[in-house]
Amino acid sequence: MGFDTTKLVWTRAPRSYDIQPDWITITTDPHTDLWQRTYYGFRNDNAPVLLMQTEEEFFSFVVKTDFSSSHQRFDQCGVVVYLDSDNWLKGSIEYENEEYQRLGSVVTNHGYSDWATTDIAACVKSMWYRLSRRRSDYCLECSADGVTFRQMRICHLHEGSGTIRFGIYACSPEESSFEAIFTDMALTQCLWQAHDGQAPDEDL
């Protein structure tokens, strides 16, 4: 399996970007975001998302992100599965202030988003992500060095079976712009192993 950047398609393109075989840069436009309804009430679906389509039910996608120039609250970039405006998931680091950032993920099912985060130091300026698929279930992991990955989240997309689209994104929800750099992209066999613990309950 290989990750061919020539097969990537924008849902919406930013004004400035560069796509090369080994790296991609996205310069974010202000007031771009992905969010649906929950808590805030608003809906925003205008972030630039660069996607590859696949029918493969078991795979892992790895990418390294560099966001050294992020500086405004909610500046973010990361990995994404985007089916449509109401069904998607993303993993990223969102800039908060000069002291800390939020490493986290959002899962949106049928038009409602959630947000699970943990605070990390603001000095972190790069992060690896690994997105793995097992049919309609997904695992997000992160790594500081691209070798040792830590689980961020296991989740289910209600519409996440069959053909899906996955890839990268970057956005700036407030009055901001920064350059997100994506490198070391790889598509491999699924590295999220089948669960070998407790057996599922029998149907009653």
CATH topology of domain 5-188: Jelly Rolls (2.60.120)
pLDDT in tens, 58-104: 999 999 999 999 999 999 999 999 999 999 999 999 999 999 999 99
d(CA 154, CA 181): 26
- The stretch 163-181 carries a mean pLDDT of 98
| 198: confidence class by pLDDT, cuts 50, 70, 90 | confident
Q: Are 121 and 115 in contact, with CB atoms under 8 Å apart?
A: no
Phi and psi for 74 in degrees, rounded to 5?
80, -5
What ranges do the domains of the chain cover?
5-188
How high is the pLDDT of residue 197? 77
With a CB cutoff of 8 Å and minimum separation 6, the contacts of 26 are: 14, 16, 17, 48, 50, 77, 168, 169, 170, 179, 180, 182
**This prediction's pTM:** 0.95
Q: What is the pLDDT of residue 199?
A: 75
Provide the β-strand partners of residue 139: 132, 154
3-state secondary structure of 149: coil
Q: Which residues of 130-169 are buried (b: 16+ CB within 10 A; e: fewer)?
A: bbbbbeeebbbbbeeebeebeebbebebeebeeebbbbbb
